[in-house]
Every structure is written in C-alpha cells, then in structure tokens.
Structure 1
Amino acid sequence: MDDIGALLKEALGLHQNGQLPDAAARYEHVLAQAPRQFDALHLLGVVRRQQGDAEDAVRLISEALTINPSQSTAHCNLGAALQDLGRSSEALSSYDTAVQLNPAYALAWSNRGNALRALGRLPEAVESYDQALRLRPSYPEAWCNRAIALLDLGQPEAALDSAERALHQKRPYAEAACVRANALFGLRAFEAALRAYDEAIAWDARAPEAHAGRGLALMKLERPGEALSSVETALALRPRHPQAERQRGDALLALGRREEAIDAYRRARTLALDAGLDTGELDFVLAARGAGATPGQAPQAYVKALFDQYAGHFDRHLTQVLGYRTPALVEAALARHPGAAELAAVDLGCGTGLCAPFLRPRAQRLVGVDLSGRMLDQAREAGLYDELVCADIGTYLAQNPQAFDLAVAADVLVYFGELDTLFGQVRASLRANGVFCFSTEALDEGDFMLLPSQRYAHGLAYLEQLAARHGFTILEARRAPVRSDHGADIEGHLLVLRAAS
C-alpha cells in the first residue's frame, strides 16, 4: 500500500500549483486505498468545484463531513458549492455552522454575506460583511460585496465608500471598479460613472456588466449611439441576456429606430421567457409602443423599481425637470371645497410626501401608502405622516373599509388604465360624504390610453361615468397643465368627488 501521507502531500502541492487534474488523480488514489479519508474527500470536492462540477463537490464534501463534522473549512467550502448551485438557503446553513465552529473565520462571514444577499436579506448581509471586515480589515472582496449589498439597499454613497476601500486595497480589481461605477451612477454622477466603467473595462475588457453599465451612463448623458455600441459589446460577451437586449431596445428607440427597438424588446421578452423570468414589464413596454395589448395597469414591479430608483432625487426631478404642478393643483382644489374638517386622510401613492404639508393640517390622522419602500424612507424623514404603509393601494384600500374621510391620489392614476376597480375600492374605504381628489393626464377621445411615456391618459367622460357608477358627486372637474415634457405642457384632469351620504 502506498504511503497515504506522501500521496496527500503530493496532491496538495499539485493542487496549490493549479494542476487540478493531476491533484484530483492523487486524491482519488488515496481514496482507492482509504475511502473514508477526510482530507482526500474534502479536497477532491474543492477541486471538483474549481473544475466547475459543483454537484460532485457537494457530494464529496458532504461525505467528508460525515466523517469529521467539526471542520469549519469544509463547511465553508460546502457552502460555496451550494451557492454555485443556487441553493442559497442551504449555503447559509453551512456558513452558519462554519462561523459557529470558528467565529474568527473571516472568509465564512464574507461568504455568509453573499448567501444572505442572494436571499434578499440585505441588512443582514451587510452585517455579515462587517463582521468579516472586523476580523480582517484588509479584505477587498468583502468590501466589494458589501458595496453591492449597499447598492441594492439604495445607499449609493455608502456603497461608493465601500467600493473605493476595495480598490485602495487591490488594484487592478475590475469587479470593484464596476461596482464603484454603479455607485456613481446611483448618485447621478454620470460623467464620473462613465470614467469608472472605462477603468473597469481597461482592467477586464470581457466583463459584460461594465459594458452594459457604460451603456446606461451614456444613455443618461444623451449619447444613444455610443450607448448602443456599448450594449452590443455586452451582448457579444454575454449573448441571450434579456436585460441587455432591453437596453439595446432603449438605445435604438432613442435613436429613432422604432421598428428595430420593437424587435429588440420582443427578443428580450423571448429571452426572459426562456429564462423563466416574468415578462410583465416587457409586455408593458411593447404595449406603450403600440406593439401589444394594453394592460389594465402598469406592472407593480415596474412601478416599484421606477420609484425606488428615483427616491433620492425625486422631488428635485419633478420640480426642476418635469415642472411638476399636481400637488399645488390638488391643494388649491381642496381649498375650494373645505367642508367639514377631515378626520382621517389617506395619501395614495404618497411617494416622498409632496402632498403631506397641505394634508397634515386637514387631518387628525394621515396615512401614506406607496409601493416603493425607498420613497417611503424619504417621506418618513419629514415626520408628517402618522403611518406609512408599503403596499399596493388597491390592496390597502380593500383592507380598510370606511376608514377615511379624504383620499388623495396625485399623479397616481397615470399608472392605471382601467379605473373601475380602483374607484370601487376608494368608495368602499370612504365614510359617508368622504372626498376623493385625484389627477390624471388628459385624453381627448376614448376611455384611456397607454402613452409612449409609459403613463396612461384618461378621458373626462370616462371619469364622470365612473364617478356616477360608484356613488360620487362631482364637486369639481378642471383641465390644467400638470407637468412638462421636453418643454411642452402636459394637460391633465383634476377632479374632486364627494361620496354619497
């Protein structure tokens, strides 16, 4: 029988030198003689993962752990293989065991953060990265992954600091450079983001994420021709990627190449279907271009993502870019119909709380409801709401019958086409003589239409029919400019309704 210790030593040397097939052969030789040799099973599993066979890695490392379950390194390596297979909950359990066995194991804490991030448990992921960094402050990979989690939490400034710490410790580091660029993009520093994407590409020209991000920055800088080139490079590096194909459609549309854009959106939809992804947003985009059936409302995922993205600069964008006038119009309309003091008010689609300053004096209790948690975080800072609820407004209203005396929906119904259901939900949530004040964008003919802006417009006659059907009296119906788009006023309807007593 060969000396197992010598064989293991030889295998480990080959393994450390990157000679994976030869190392695997030596580990297998050991196992032929000693099938339950822990190190050979464990390290052969590590080799298999490095060779891309995560399934066999899980099998081998799991078998090793039946022999010696007290080895934290093996639990960590098992977690990594499970993570490769997308089995994040099981990976997290392995990492938890690893850090219980060895609380000073920085790699396991960092990998645990990756599993938590994959599970959407972002604050816990950041805490796990922080623990790894307390144990090993010079740990660029942990700083980089922490930055990704912070970006997902909508904290681009903190993410930028974390990515820069990673780059201070390790250069070149293309992934961290790309994450830094993403953070700058989140801070709307688009020129700086473009330079950062260029740095990432200089370090790794075959990173599709950097090329795709560069395309997004160029779109924000109104350079769609260059954006198209960047996203096509991303697609060449990573074909059949739905999001990149959608980006390609956006760039083509900005270049006025409508039919090609529609073809790109359709291809993105097909790719999303093939990947088992939801196609609601792409269906919505196609419908807004007249290339699909008009849905009854915008997809909730689209609305949530849109406003999560806008949260940090929403008020400035509305007032300085879109010339947003709806809150002022709503305030003036309510002042024209004071009636009795409202006891309880709900601000539907409250966003960052632009309506709260004039609703607060009217309400003994003021509730804000919005799909975007990040918008609600901004609204919470003002301290004007008694309660803020992250929910679909229809679902919330259905759960709160006869709870309110005033319901306001400022620039919210533009994300709904068919309004019959929502009118019924509002009416059911109002007490006798309750008031419903809302705005829409104006449509001259027809009930409603999905516009290329991906917002709905509504006809006044349709709104009047719905008011009558659901037992409302129209106190006021006015037409006025509600916002601007590329310097042109967008007309809207402002209605104040009273529920029957």
Structure 2
Amino acid sequence: MIEYNRSISFGLETSTFHETFKGIQRNVTKDASQVWSYLPEQTDNSINKLHYLRDALIHEYFLNNQRDLKNLVLFFISRLKKSPFDYDLTIGLGNALKQLGQVNRVKRLYSRFNKNKPRAEIIFISLANIFFEEGSYSKARIYYEKALSLNYKPPKGPIYVKLVYCCHNLKEFDLASNFAELALLEGISNTTPELCLLFGNIYLGAKRYKKAIENYESGIRHINNYSLAIRDFIAPSGGQHGKKVKSFLSALKLISPRTLEPKLLTNLGNALNQMGEYELAKVHLKKAISLVELPFAYNNLALSLKAQGDLDGALFNLSKADQLLPDSDLISLNLAETHLAKGNESKAIAFFKKVVQKDKTNESAKFKLNALLGKKTLSAPKKYVANLFDKYSETFDRHLLNSLAYKVPKEIWEVINKKYQKSYCFDKALDLGCGTGLCGINLGKRCEELVGIDLSKSMLTKAREKGIYNKLKHLDIIDYLVNTKLEYELILAGDVLIYLGELDKLFQYSHGATKRNGRFIFSIELSYKKDFILTKSGRFAHSISYVKKTANQYLWQVETEKSINIRYENNSYVKGVLFTLVKR
C-alpha cells in the first residue's frame, strides 16, 4: 500500500495527469487501486479522488526514479514557458528539483518569481525556508520580510519566530526583540522552555535585562511544571514498578526540556550580573554548574565574584571555564582582565596575547596589551570605548557614585556656580562623553539647549530616560566637533580625556565650537612624567604642563586648575586636575 503524504506537491493539473504518467501507468496500476480504496470518505467525487491519487503516485514513484524526475522537470519548464509565474507549476518544478538535489536551481526559480502574481508570498516563504535550513539567515530574513509585505494571510506568528531566530544569529538583537513582540501579538505563546530561552537571549542581547530575566524565569518554571506532571503521571510505588519508573526517568532525561535548564540558569545569571544582582546571580549559576558543567556558567559566576571583589574565586572559576573551552576569546579576555586586577601582569599579558594571536581584529585586547607593554598609543579605539560602556551602562551610576565615590560631576558643578550666578541661564551647552548624564543632570535646568554626545548607545539610552538633554548624538566627540556648525557657551568633558592621549584635535575643534569668552571645563588623570601616558588600567593620564601648552597653542586661556580626587579605586584615590579654559 502507498502511504499518502500531502507534504510534497508537484502542481500537476488534472487534465495533464494521463499525459504525464503515460510511460508508467502499467507499473503503478495495482498501487493506484489500493490508494483509491483508502482515500478519505469526504472525497466523494472522482475529480477529487484523482487529485489525491495524482499526488500520491507522484510522491511514491518519482522519489525513487531519477530519470522520470528529470522528465518531470522538463515538463514543468515547458509548461512554465506558456504560463510564466504560475504558482502550481513553479511549486511543482521547485519540489521536483529538490528531489534531484538541485537546490540552487530552486533558489533561482523562486527568487525570480513575480511578486505581483497570486500566492507570490508562499513562494517567498518557501525560498526563505530553504535559506533558513542552510543557515543563510540574512537571506532568509529578506524573503520572510518580503512575504509579510505581500499581505501574507496564514498565521504570521511562526514566521515572526523564524525572524527572531534569524536576527538572533545575525546579532541584530534590537530587531529580534521587535519581532518577538510581534510574534506574541500574533498569538505565539512563549510557554515552552525553547522559546523562553530564545526570547530571553534576544532580550539579553538587546540589553533589555528585565525582559530577559522574565523569559528565563518563565522557562525554568515550565520545566519544573513539566517534571512534576511527569512524576504525578507515572506515580512511582516502589518494588519492580519503582525500578521501571527509575529507568523511565533516566530515559526521559534525553528528551526532557530539563536539558535546557542549565542554559536557562546560566543566561539568567548573566542577565542578573548585568543588573548588578550578583548574589542572586551566584545562586542560579551554582545551580547550573551542579546540573552540567557549562563553561559560561563558570565564566558568569567568575564575573559575579569579581564584581564583589573576590578575585581569587573569580580566577578559580575562570580556570574551570578555560579548561572546558580553551579556545574562547571571551574567557581568555576575562582571565586577562582578572589577572590584571589581581596584579598578575605577566599572566594578564599572556592571556591578552592569546586573544590577539587568535583574533588580530580584537581592538580591546590589543589596546590593553599595549598599555601593559608600555607602547605609545594616541587614543583608545572607538569600538573599545563603545563596548566598555555598553556593558557598563546598567550599573554605571550606582558603581561610580557608591563604590568608587566619583567626584568629578560635583567638582564641575562647583566651578560653574563660582563662575556664573545661580540664576544664570546658558544659551547652548555641550556635554562631551555625556554617558548617563551624571555631569549634565544639574545643568539641564539652566540651559535653553543642552546637547549630549557619546559613543555608547546604551549610555545614551540611560541619559534619554532621565530627560536631561534636548538632543543626544551617538557620535565620537571629535567627529561631532569637526562637523558641528553650532557655537556653545559652555562645553563639559567629565572623565573623558582619560580615553584620549593626544589632545591637539580636541582643543582645536572645541575652540571652533565655542562662543567668544565661552568656557571649556574638563578633568584629567594626573601624570607626573611625560606629556601623556597610557596607564596599565587602559586609561590615559596627562601632565599639567602638556595640557597648558596644548591649550595655549589652540588659543585657549587657562582660567583655573584645581587638584581633585577623581574616584576611589584599589584602596586609594585617583589623583586628577579640573581645568577651566576660556576662549580668547
């Protein structure tokens, strides 16, 4: 008996049935009669039965007959010449080519289909599915979106989920989170651990940490409910039955969603770390490790411990992670940073070198390695600065103000109050490297227009939430100063010059962006040696003489210089100077 499978259709019209099968009718008559007798009762007329029989015979016979499949391809091509962009013929040709293993021809066929023809969206979904299965997620996304733009009528939820998966693999997390929201609106329920893990990961990538935590916790709850339901169902009662139950539960581990629990716990710990919830993160990460030794569970636990000052515990767990996954750049980079924090410079250098040797494009590792090796560097790489503060944005304010006793915003505000009356309102002010708005928060109330510039999108998001600035720009500060046509009455740069070594461009272009008699207030970390040095922390320090010499060169007058404590770090205050320059 032929087993009928409607998942493959070759799109033949009823009128061509006998024409197409002329050469094989004698061989399949017996099978045909068997299919006829097993057709569903609702197909009560011969035409409908003929459609079913057609598909069944094609599926059964042609799957194992290369010669006839090739003849079928030629038949469809000849028909398509007479009826270009016919949906049934196109799908039929595509499926015949698939059976021949000629997937590239299928892709060309579907990609050329006229989008204005009926059912074009189904063709594009079929093409997107081919790319999806190949792992060509960028192309798959293009055709899923193209299909949706053509008023795709079947349920859209599953397509949105595939788009989430595509964007996740392309690391386009903001877009993925948008598709996740659309999937939920379409009735997709993220009540499976698999979907909870996927949605949690894209929210984590998009830095929507609370949403990520919700999804990971939901996935863990579903797993626990599943386990309880299984136990209640089998109701173990000891004896021989109890042994069978034990065997059943062992086998169930291979297919149970509980296999996802360590991953959910690991990523939950990661999200909690980003929120600064280190104690809670440790609880979940230790549970993950108790289930399965995942390298990133150890890595994330190490980051929890490092944030709490336990560098020995962090190094122990990072070593475990490195043993499990020795080729991970991320784990090697974390080992380098932790050894550096511990004062093990030789080991830090070794791990930074390991990262650079494997990935010569890793600017962060190269920059930190140069700092340790004492190589002259003119400024921190833009990508390094952006990534550093993107990761730091969620806990930035709390860490700086509470843990590091950060003083710069307070010192800047005191200078402003001394130089200007408290009722004075600035026309335009510019906050370079504005971050979350720690320096601009008081100034916003005294400006007609306050503009903030930063390289970190995540820091700008936090600043936007505070409603301090009239405008926020995601740009490098030098690039902005070069191109702006505005002139500001006041420019601030609190703790920004630590990522710039050479100051010529900053002083030159800030001068051009300042009104006459306008002020530029900024802080530096103090160097008693050269003009500027890249310290082992990866921050630049400048000498007072270098700042004065360069400021004078670009027609700035040094109005004030004040020695300050910038922050409290490694059991001592970092010494700095707050400068006020006036445009001559």
Counterparts of 1:109 and 1:116 in 2: how far apart (Å)? 10
Q: 1:238 to 1:74 in 2, by over 3 A?
A: farther
User: How far apart are residue 458 of structure 1 and its match?
Assistant: 0.7
Amino acid at match of 2:219: A
User: How far apart are residue 493 of structure 1 and its match?
Assistant: 0.8
Select the residue among 107, 125, 131 that pairs with 1:62.
107
Counterpart residue number, 1:317: 399
Amino acid at match of 2:395: H
Counterparts of 2:443 and 2:333 in 1: how far apart (Å)? 40
Q: Do the aligned partners of 2:177 and 2:206 also contact (CA within 8 Å) in 1?
A: no
Counterpart residue number, 2:480: 396
Amino acid at match of 2:397: D
Counterpart residue number, 1:162: 215
Q: Give the TM-score normalised by structure 1.
A: 0.82
Structure 2 unmatched ranges of 5 or more: 9-60, 74-91, 114-118, 224-256
Q: Which moved more, 1:354-363 or 1:155-164?
A: 354-363
Q: Specify the SS of the correspondent of 2:505.
A: helix
Amino acid at match of 1:411: D
Q: 1:165 to 1:41 in 2, by over 3 A?
A: farther
Select the residue among 300, 312, 323 that pairs with 2:382.
300
Counterpart residue number, 2:193: 140
Counterparts of 1:296 and 1:105 in 2: how far apart (Å)? 52
1:217 and 2:301 aligned: no
1:286 and 2:369 aligned: yes
Counterparts of 1:101 and 1:151 in 2: how far apart (Å)? 30
Q: Do the aligned partners of 2:168 and 2:176 also contact (CA within 8 Å) in 1?
A: yes
Counterparts of 2:399 and 2:67 in 1: how far apart (Å)? 68
Q: Specify the SS of the correspondent of 2:155.
A: coil
Q: Do the aligned partners of 1:448 and 1:457 also contact (CA within 8 Å) in 2?
A: yes
How many residues are matched? 463
Q: Do the aligned partners of 1:484 and 1:490 also contact (CA within 8 Å) in 2?
A: yes
Counterparts of 1:201 and 1:105 in 2: how far apart (Å)? 38
Counterpart residue number, 1:327: 409
Counterparts of 2:538 and 2:385 in 1: how far apart (Å)? 10
Counterparts of 2:96 and 2:518 in 1: how far apart (Å)? 75
Deviation by residue 1:451-492 (Cα, 9 ceiling, x = unmatched): 222211110000110111010111111212222113312211
Deviation by residue 1:212-251 (Cα, 9 ceiling, x = unmatched): 3233233224343443343344344434222222122223
Q: What are the equivalent positions in structure 2 for 1:26-37 lying under 5 Å apart? A: 29-31=64-66, 33-35=68-70, 36=73
Amino acid at match of 2:440: A
Amino acid at match of 1:465: K
Q: 1:41 to 1:189 in 2, by over 3 A?
A: farther
Q: Do the aligned partners of 1:27 and 1:41 also contact (CA within 8 Å) in 2?
A: no
Amino acid at match of 1:480: I
Counterparts of 1:65 and 1:302 in 2: how far apart (Å)? 43
Counterpart residue number, 2:37: none
Counterparts of 2:569 and 2:394 in 1: how far apart (Å)? 21
Counterpart residue number, 2:244: none
Counterparts of 1:248 and 1:485 in 2: how far apart (Å)? 20
Indicate the structure (1 or 2) with the bigger Cα radius of gyration: 2
Deviation by residue 1:53-99 (Cα, 9 ceiling, x = unmatched): xxx8x6486379589974687445313234x2xx4320202333565
1:348 and 2:383 aligned: no
Q: 1:358 to 1:109 in 2, by over 3 A?
A: closer
Deviation by residue 1:114-166 (Cα, 9 ceiling, x = unmatched): 22334454343123223334433134323222212211222211110012222
Counterpart residue number, 1:176: 264
1:152 and 2:193 aligned: no
Counterpart residue number, 1:385: 469
Q: 1:300 to 1:103 in 2, by over 3 A?
A: farther
Q: Specify the SS of the correspondent of 2:405.
A: coil
CA RMSD of aligned residues (A): 3.2
Counterparts of 2:327 and 2:216 in 1: how far apart (Å)? 29
Amino acid at match of 2:144: Y
Q: What are the equivalent positions in structure 2 for 1:60-139 lying under 5 Å apart? A: 62=107, 70=122, 74-75=126-127, 77-82=129-134, 84=135, 87-96=136-145, 101=152, 103-104=154-155, 106-133=157-184, 134-137=186-189, 138-139=191-192
User: How far apart are residue 112 of structure 1 and its match?
Assistant: 0.7
Counterpart residue number, 2:250: none
Q: 1:365 to 1:341 in 2, by over 3 A?
A: same
Q: 1:44 to 1:132 in 2, by over 3 A?
A: farther
User: How far apart are residue 190 of structure 1 and its match?
Assistant: 1.9
Counterpart residue number, 1:23: none
Counterparts of 1:358 and 1:130 in 2: how far apart (Å)? 36
